[in-house]
Structures are given as structure tokens and as C-alpha cells.
Copies of this chain bind each other. A is one copy, B any other.
Amino acid sequence: MTIINNTPRRLRLAMIGGGQGAFIGGVHRMAARLDDRFELVAGAFSSQAERNLATASELGIDEQRCYTDYAALLAGEAAREDGAQVVAIVTPNHLHYPAALASLEAGFHVVCEKPMTFSVEEAEQLAQAAEKSARHFVLMHNYAGYPLVQHARELIAEGVLGQLRHVQVEYIQEWLSEPPEADNRQAAWRLDPAQAGAAGCLGDIGVHAFQLAQFISGQRVSEVSAELVTAVPGRALDDNVQALLRFNGGARGMLWASQTAAGYENALTIRIIGEKASLQWAQEQPNELWLKPLNGPSQRLTRRDDWLSANIAQGVRVPGGHPEGYIEAFANLYQALADGYTSGEYPSWLPGIEDGVDGMRFIAAAITSHEAEGSWTPLHLSKASGASGGAP
């Protein structure tokens, strides 16, 4: 547990997106601030000039460093001696790729929202740019930041479950159950292919479920049989996804993502079935992890640093029984980036480019399978195997 995790030297952070009325930008700011490792110094918060300036003012950002767009931000900050060191990209999807590419090329470390790009090709190009740049790229698969998610991954890597048999993952929400009102900014861009890409629910939260399944299991999805559903008529994109999975390590799996599931708020749940035991974790109760041995009593593991590895305990701030949540998990990705920036070593669990490439391959394969009446479709993984993000 790291009660005192402050540091005299804060990294300087710039933000692209996250203007007033946005959701995730504010979360990034709280997460970056929580451990006192970042200071927000610049931003291109909105393409609407008025909103952009108002946001900067509210955030106490110098007007000089409130830029009209990402290109101006990158140029301006690169030119300053005290310029930003890290750029957070929190825009709608269509800007992820160009802004991330430009940020890397301009020499910035990057924190980027998912899905990483619009296509597999873009993802692969970004991967090349990242490799060339010697800068670190963090993909905001924030659920990997929960200590008990990381603990689940370690237990599996250590063989506690034995051979894995089945991965059951779902991520269901209710908030798009009804046609969105015109003024729901969050809904509007997510359902617009020009801003969201070819995938709706699949790209917004399905890809989180997919990443979590690979992340915890340590196996990669090799084939998918999927059906995309548009439950609310008139939408251009899917709002419900159901898929069967085959993993490269032999496990099978099922993935359900929905944004039209009445009564469910943010229900991301995963179960990993092994020959010797199973694991179960639910994001809405993130401070407990169920270890269910074959023919034995189920055990409720909590977020106690006395049984977490030192690496994971780094992301625990208060003792077991003192609940931590979404912001803390989110902050763990920022903390890991700051630690890595200083030490040069990034923890293997920190989601990055590889997760993004896999995610785009999953999206592409799911769409292909859907169009081919559910036939099993390979993901054409570039690397033979191994856990996403490397071995723990």
C-alpha cells in the first residue's frame, strides 16, 4: 500500500479533448491528480472556441496554453522548455489515431482512450510509430488498473486455476436503452459512425470486455463467432453484441456487451473457469475477487496488500474494507506511467499498443463474422501467443 505516494517532481500533462460537458476528460484529470504525479499545464479541450476557453479558465490553465486544436497544442508545447511531457487524448474515437500519431511523432508520451483507432491498419501504423518513437503509449483500458484484476491475472499466471477451460465476460449497461435525446452529447457521438467508427457498443465497451478477457486469462482470442444487434431501431451502429470465443491456449469463451440492458448500470463481469478452480470478478463490486476451488468452499479475496504482490500493492491506497473504486483504478494507469517515466521500466500489466492492435482485430473479426452469419473468424494475430501486455 502506498499511503504517501507523492513526489516532488510532477510530470507536465496536456489534454486533447475533455471540454465542459464531456465525461471521461474529468476522470482523467482526477486520476492524474490523485497521486500528485501530474500537473495539467495545457489543453485543446474543444473544437468550439468558447467551450475551449471556458474549460481552460475553469481548470486554471493559462490562456496561452489553451490551444485551438491538437496540432497547435503539440507545436506549442514542443516549443516550450517547460512544455508538456505527456499528452492525454480523450476525444471521440475518430481523433484517437491522428492525435496519437502526431503526439508520438512530436515526442510526447501518450495516454489515449479506446478504441485506439478506426481500423486494424491504423492500429498497426500507430504500433510502428510508437516503436520508432521511444515514447510510451498507454491505452486507457482502465479496468486493468483494479488491483484485484491484476491479482486475478497473477493467480492464473501462477497456475492456480490449472488449464483454463472457459472465459465468460460481459459488459452491460442500460444508458442507451432509449433513443437518445438530441442534447445527450455522450450518446450522440457514440452512435455516429463518423465519430465512433464502424462499431458502436462493440467498440465502446465490447473492446473493454475483450481486453479484460485476454488480460486476465493470459490467452489471446484466436477466433470469434459474433452477432451484432441494433436493439433500438433507427441506429446506425450496434448497441448489443453477443459472441462466442476461441482462445489460443485452448479455452473457449462467451462475450456479451450491451448498452440496452435495462436495469444494469456498468456491469462488467468476468469469470475464468479452470480445471482446478475458477475466478469471478465484477466491476461494480471491485473490492472482492472470488476464488472458487473445485469441490471446496469459495473464497472471497479482498484488496489487502498483505496478500497482493508488491507490484500490485503499489496501486492500493487504503486498507482492505476501505473501498476503492473507479477513479483509483484509473489513477493506477497514470501512476504506472509516472513511475515508468522516472525509472524507465513500465509494469507488464500497463495496457498499451498491443492491446489496441488486438482490440481493433477483434472488432474487425467480429464484424466479419457477423456479416458471414456467425461463422468462426480468425483474428490474424501478428504475434503467436502470450498474454496481452506480456507475462506478469
Bitwise interface map of A from 1 to 35 toward B, beta carbon under 8 Å scored 1, else 0: 00111111100000000001011011101100111
B residues near A8, Cβ cutoff 8 Å:
57-60
Stretch of A121-129, A280-288, A337-345, A359-367 that contacts chain B: A280-288
Asked if A165 lies at the interface with its beta carbon under 8 angstroms from chain B, I say yes
Expressed in whole angstroms, the Cα–Cα distance for A383 and B297 within the complex equals 38
**Are the CB atoms of B302 and A299 closer together than 8 Å?**
no
The answer to whether A323 has its CB under 8 Å from any CB of chain B is yes
Contact B264 A278 (CB under 8 A): yes
User: A243 to chain B: which residues have CB within 8 Å?
Assistant: 244
If A8-B60, A300-B300, A323-B326 touch, whether A278 touches B265 (CB-CB below 8 Å) is no
Residues of B within 8 A of A188 (CB): none
Contact residues in B for A378 (Cβ distance below 8 Å) = none
Using Cβ atoms and an 8 Å threshold, which residues of chain B touch A242?
Answer: 166, 244, 252-254
Question: A381 within 8 Å of B by Cβ?
Answer: no
Judging by beta carbons under 8 Å apart, are A278 and B299 in contact?
A: no
A135 interface contact, C-beta 8 A = no
Interface residues of A, dominant DSSP? loop
Residue in B6, B7, B59, B262 whose CB lies within 8 Å of A276: B262
A286 to B324, CA, bound (A): 10
Of the 9-residue stretches A72-80, A92-100, A212-220, A223-231, which lies at the interface with chain B? A223-231
**CB distance A318 to B27 under 8 Å?**
yes
Contact B284 A295 (CB under 8 A): no
Q: Is A349 an interface residue (CB 8 A)?
A: no
Cα distance A101–B8 when bound, in Å? 32
Say whether A111 faces chain B, with CB atoms less than 8 Å apart.
no
- Stretch in A81-89, A102-110, A170-178, A192-200 with 4+ CB within 8 Å of B: A170-178
A292 in contact with B263 (CB, 8 Å) = yes
Give which listed residue, B20, B231, B323, contacts A283 with CB less than 8 A.
B323
Known: A4-B20, A58-B6, A322-B326. A263 touches B277 (CB 8 A): yes
Q: Is A306 an interface residue (CB 8 A)?
A: yes
Contact B263 A321 (CB under 8 A): no
A294 interface residue, CB < 8 Å from B?
yes
Cβ-defined contact, A373 with B376, below 8 A? yes
A324 to B318, CA, bound (A): 13
A–B complex contacts, Cβ < 8 Å, 21 sampled = A4-B25, A5-B26, A6-B59, A8-B57, A165-B240, A166-B256, A168-B170, A172-B273, A225-B227, A229-B252, A231-B275, A243-B244, A254-B256, A265-B320, A266-B320, A267-B321, A284-B323, A297-B300, A317-B327, A323-B326, A374-B376
Instruction: Give 5 A-B pairs besides A168-B256, A178-B294, A317-B327 with Cβ atoms closer than 8 angstroms.
Output: A3-B25, A33-B34, A165-B258, A263-B277, A373-B375
